[in-house]
């Protein structure tokens, strides 16, 4: 580290503050507190050139008057020398922090002056986040310990994670992301009381310690207010930005025996809040801890299953309703665990996404499905679901091209299914990737249409080949007029835009008749065919008319 020089000392004292003078300063002081001798560092720091036999406290008083050191340094020196204390710390006006240490050496006292600025700054940085100025995890742990010791007051810890923040960083850049984090910190700080503390734990994760709350209801009121305040629009780096926040809450003295456990349990509650739709809060429960252990066990099993190739594909047929002509199949990921049995995709796919394993797993699905479908008659297609995480980079474009080339499958026989969730946070990136893939001849369909937020705007932004009507509407179309109206409207919309519509989840002849009357022309569901293995697919193809 290059230490800052005292630029005032040479002017006032006639001492050249060269680099060799920035070492430890030493001052020998007599029993009557006069300077016997000192080295060049001590002269440059505080004493000046004309120090011989002068009272050390007078020299330090002069240094205070000339603005070399902070006011109060003389009195601290006097206390150290007279009262017998061994050390103290004082500030130089150029920003450095100096440690003075005194040792009795016979009749004289040796005072050593050391620049401890770096140590002080490092200690402070452990307690203050350099970007936002908020407390860090170190400071939060200290305050949590204090809160746990004060049994007369109730306290709550809120663990926060910003929703859609990564999309801001990815699309607008880190400078805008950093500016947004500062604005978020300011907003949260403005609604805290003097006893509360907000800490940044890293990235877009924050924690709020409500030091004094009367009951659970008070924490709920604050969490609701916090979500509302954070979710309002921001002007960051010249961009209008909208994000949200999810909150997990742990009760001090109830949800953990130490600060680390309190933070962990608040984080578990946050995970629950995010998995239940985001933009909300959840209190920690013991059930969350049990589920967390199950997730950890499942994580180990997923990694093992991927390495040992324990996953497989099932294929569900898709038909033209008129004439019941077989059109192709959708590839569905399956996992048969030696102990757990059939593990639901709804259970392991979100966890695979969370762990970052969905990209290699998704690539395996794509390559396997293309390889199997290449052996089918050329009029049959294969549909493959693509995770939102696979769209974060353009690697998917080359992966699709490679899968087609290796398998020999014609591009127009491959159909990639994307959910609205993929478009919600990464719209521009996803549209760019989809456009490049579609230009190769691969078809694109929107899965679970109608369950997202901005379906019509997505159809306007990208020319999908097919719309899959979500099974929740299909199954209620017979008994619920509103669901029937949605099926009818989506079918008409698809036809007007030149997009095929397919209904999924059809289980009864009545549902099939209803959706056909409402304009839907393709079907997929248990009624027309359950998911099957590759051998059963071959048998079905042989039985099906062309």
CATH of the domain at 110: 3.30.450.20
CA max distance for the chain: 113
Write out pLDDT tens, residues 121-145.
Answer: 765 556 678 788 888 888 888 889 8
Name, of 172-176, 276-280, 441-445, 483-487, the range with top average pLDDT: 441-445
Q: pLDDT grade, residue 253 (50/70/90)?
A: confident
Q: What is the pLDDT of residues 196-232, one digit of tens each?
A: 999 998 889 999 999 877 688 889 999 999 999 999 9
Residue 3 included in any domain: no
How would residue 81 be classed by pLDDT, with cut points 50, 70 and 90?
Answer: confident
Specify whether 360 is located in the same domain as 500: yes
Residue % of the chain over a pLDDT of 90: 35
More confident residue, 366 or 21: 366
Residues 384 and 498 in one domain: yes
pLDDT in tens, 148-181: 887 667 789 999 999 988 888 878 888 898 899 9
> Whole-angstrom Cα distance, residue 145 to residue 141?
6
Between 15-24, 112-121, 244-253, 535-544, the lowest mean confidence (pLDDT) is in 15-24
Q: Which pLDDT value is given to residue 6?
A: 37
**Which has more pLDDT, 40 or 381?**
381
pTM: 0.59
Mean pLDDT of the region 253-260:
88
Assess if residue 207 is contained within a domain.
yes
Higher per-residue confidence, 401 vs 257:
401
pLDDT of res. 347: 82
401-415 per-position pLDDT tens digit: 999 999 999 999 999
CA distance 45 to 295: 59
When divided into structural domains, the chain yields a total of 3
| DSSP type of residue 479 | T
User: 23 and 91 in one domain?
Assistant: yes
| Same domain as 389, residue 277 | no
- Do both 56 and 138 map to the same domain? no
Q: What is the pLDDT of residues 350-366, one digit of tens each?
A: 888 878 888 999 999 99
Q: How confident is the model at residue 21 (pLDDT cuts 50, 70, 90)?
A: very low
Same domain, 231 and 347: no
**Residue 499 forms part of a structural domain:** yes
Mean pLDDT of the chain: 85
Q: What is the dihedral of CA 7, 10, 16, 21, to 10 degrees?
A: -60
* Residue 76 or residue 420, greater confidence: 76
Instruction: Please check whether residues 32 and 146 belong to one and the same domain.
Output: no
Q: What average pLDDT score do residues 38-62 get?
A: 86
Query: Is residue 293 one of the residues assigned to a domain?
Result: no
Show which of 60, 90, 118 is a domain's final residue: 118
Contact status, residue 51 vs residue 61, Cβ threshold 8 Å: no
Residues 84 and 110 in one domain: yes
Residue 199 domain flag: yes
**Strand-pair partners of 245:** 162
**Is 156 domain-assigned?**
yes
If you write DSSP's letter for every residue of 266-300 in order, what string do you get?
HHHHHHHHHHTTSSSEEE--HHHHHHHHHHHHHHH
Dump pLDDT digits (tens) for 320-340: 998 789 999 999 999 988 888
The better pLDDT of the pair 394, 247 is held by: 247
Report the distance separating Cα 546 and Cα 543, nearest Å: 10
Question: Do 401 and 474 fall within a single domain?
Answer: yes
| Confidence at residue 158, expressed as pLDDT on a 0 to 100 scale | 95
pLDDT one-digit tens code per residue, 501-544: 999 999 999 999 988 988 899 999 999 999 999 999 999 999 87
Phi, psi (5° rounding) for residue 168?
A: -65, -45
88 shares a domain with 154: no
44-63 b/e with 16+ CB inside 10 Å = b?
Answer: bbbbbeebeeeebbebbebb
Please answer whether residues 455 and 434 qualify as being in contact, where contact means their C-beta atoms are separated by less than 8 angstroms.
no
Domain final position from 68, 85, 118: 118
Asked whether the predicted pLDDT for residue 99 surpasses 50, the reply is yes
CB atoms within 10 A of CB 525: 23
Task: Pick the range with the lowest mean pLDDT from 19-23, 436-440, 511-515.
Answer: 19-23
With respect to residue 386, please indicate whether it lies within any of the assigned structural domains: yes
pLDDT at 11: 34
Q: For residue range 441-469, list pLDDT tens digits in order.
A: 999 998 877 665 545 667 777 788 998 98
Residues 502 and 437 in one domain: yes
Same domain for 105 and 162? no
Give all strands (DSSP E) within 372-521, no chain letters.
Answer: 381-385, 414-419, 443-449, 466-469, 500-504
Asked if residue 73 lies in contact with residue 56, where contact means CB atoms within 8 angstroms, the answer is: no
* SS3 (DSSP) at 545: coil
Q: Per-residue confidence at 370, pLDDT binned at 50, 70, 90? A: very high
Domain membership of residue 342 (yes or no) is yes
**Enclosing domain of residue 204:** 128-284
CATH of the domain at 451: 3.20.20.450
pLDDT at residue 425, rounded to an integer: 59
Q: What is the spatial distance between Cα 516 and Cα 522, in angstroms, rounded to a whole number?
A: 8
Among 118, 151, 180, identify where a domain stops: 118
**Residue 18 pLDDT:** 37
């Amino acid at each position: 580290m290059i230490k800052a020089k005292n630029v005032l000392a040479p002017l006032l004292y006639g001492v050249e503050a060269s680099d060799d003078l920035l070492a430890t300063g030493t001052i020998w002081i007599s029993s009557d507190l006069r300077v016997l001798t000192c080295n060049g560092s001590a002269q440059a720091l505080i004493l000046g050139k004309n120090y011989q036999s002068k009272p050390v406290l007078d020299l330090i008083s002069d240094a205070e008057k000339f603005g070399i050191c902070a006011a109060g340094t003389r009195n601290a020196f006097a206390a150290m020398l007279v009262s017998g204390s061994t050390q103290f710390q004082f500030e130089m006006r150029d920003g450095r922090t100096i440690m003075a240490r005194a040792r009795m050496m016979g009749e004289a006292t040796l005072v050593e002056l050391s620049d401890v600025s770096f140590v002080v700054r490092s200690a402070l940085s452990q307690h203050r986040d350099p970007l936002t100025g908020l407390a860090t995890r170190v400071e939060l742990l200290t305050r949590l310990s204090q809160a746990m010791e004060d049994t007369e007051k109730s306290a709550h810890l809120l663990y926060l994670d910003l929703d859609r923040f990564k999309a801001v960083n990815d699309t607008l850049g880190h400078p805008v992301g950093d500016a947004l984090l500062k604005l978020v910190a300011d907003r949260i700080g403005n609604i805290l009381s003097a006893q509360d503390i907000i800490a940044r734990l890293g990235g877009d994760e924050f924690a709020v310690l409500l030091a004094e709350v009367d009951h659970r209801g008070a924490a709920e009121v604050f969490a609701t207010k916090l979500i509302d305040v954070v979710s309002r629009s921001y002007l960051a780096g010249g961009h209008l930005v909208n994000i949200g926040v999810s909150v997990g809450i742990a009760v001090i003295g109830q949800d953990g025996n130490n600060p680390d456990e309190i933070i962990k349990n608040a984080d578990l509650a946050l995970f629950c809040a995010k998995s239940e739709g985001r933009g909300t809060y959840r209190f920690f429960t013991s059930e969350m801890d049990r589920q967390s252990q199950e997730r950890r066990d499942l994580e180990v099993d997923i990694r093992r299953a991927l390495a040992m190739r324990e996953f497989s594909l099932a294929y569900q047929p898709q038909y033209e309703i008129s004439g019941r002509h077989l059109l192709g199949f959708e590839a569905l990921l399956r996992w048969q665990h030696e102990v757990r049995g059939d593990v639901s995709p709804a259970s392991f796919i979100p966890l695979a996404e969370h762990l970052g394993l969905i990209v290699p797993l998704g690539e395996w699905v794509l390559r396997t499905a293309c390889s199997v479908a290449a052996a089918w008659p050329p009029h049959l297609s294969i549909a493959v679901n693509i995770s939102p995480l696979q769209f974060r980079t353009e690697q998917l474009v080359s992966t699709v091209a490679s899968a087609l080339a290796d398998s020999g499958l014609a591009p127009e026989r491959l159909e990639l299914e994307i959910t609205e969730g993929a478009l919600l946070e990464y719209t521009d990136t996803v549209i760019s990737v989809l456009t490049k893939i579609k230009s190769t001849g691969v078809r694109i369909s929107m899965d679970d249409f109608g369950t997202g937020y901005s379906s019509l705007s997505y159809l306007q932004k990208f020319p999908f080949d097919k719309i899959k009507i979500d099974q929740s509407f299909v199954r209620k179309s017979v008994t619920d007029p509103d669901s029937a109206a949605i099926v009818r409207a989506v079918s008409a919309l698809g036809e007007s835009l030149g997009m095929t519509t397919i209904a999924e989840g059809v289980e009864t002849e009545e549902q099939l008749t209803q959706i056909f009357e409402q304009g839907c022309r393709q079907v997929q569901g248990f009624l027309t065919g359950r998911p099957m293995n590759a051998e059963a697919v071959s048998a079905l193809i042989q039985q099906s008319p062309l």
